Amino acid sequence: MSSAAAGGTGFRYPYVIGFTGEALPVHHLEWKPRSGRRQLSYALPRGGDWSLGVLRLRQNQTRAGRPDFTSVNTRRQWRCMDMLR
């Protein structure tokens, strides 16, 4: 659970829950050559886009806005899973 509390209610949100203010602008994807094959990648790659051969979704970590219990912040979820290794 997270220490982020709802406006004075003391309710704590799960760490991996997405928030409405974490949306990023659309990032363009393209197929790029890699090891003799084509691989889906961001048009403007950054370090940390890939982990264990998986292209990660880019999301903010601000926890701004309202909690959205229908979504998961994939970066925080990956962080939790990495801690299990």
pLDDT, averaged per 10 consecutive residues of the chain (85 residues), comes to 58 90 85 91 91 86 90 89 85
Specify the pLDDT at position 34: 86
Specify the pLDDT at position 17: 93
Specify the pLDDT at position 1: 56
Specify the pLDDT at position 57: 86
Q: Is the pTM of this model over 0.85?
A: no
Q: Phi first, then psi: what are they for 80, rounded to 5°?
A: -65, -45
Cα–Cα distance for residue pair 64/37, rounded to 1 Å = 39
| DSSP helix/strand/coil, 79 | helix
Look-up of token digits 């790659």: 45
Cβ burial of 74 (10 Å; 0-12, 13-18, 19+) is middle
Specify the pLDDT at position 67: 92
Report DSSP state, residue 11: P
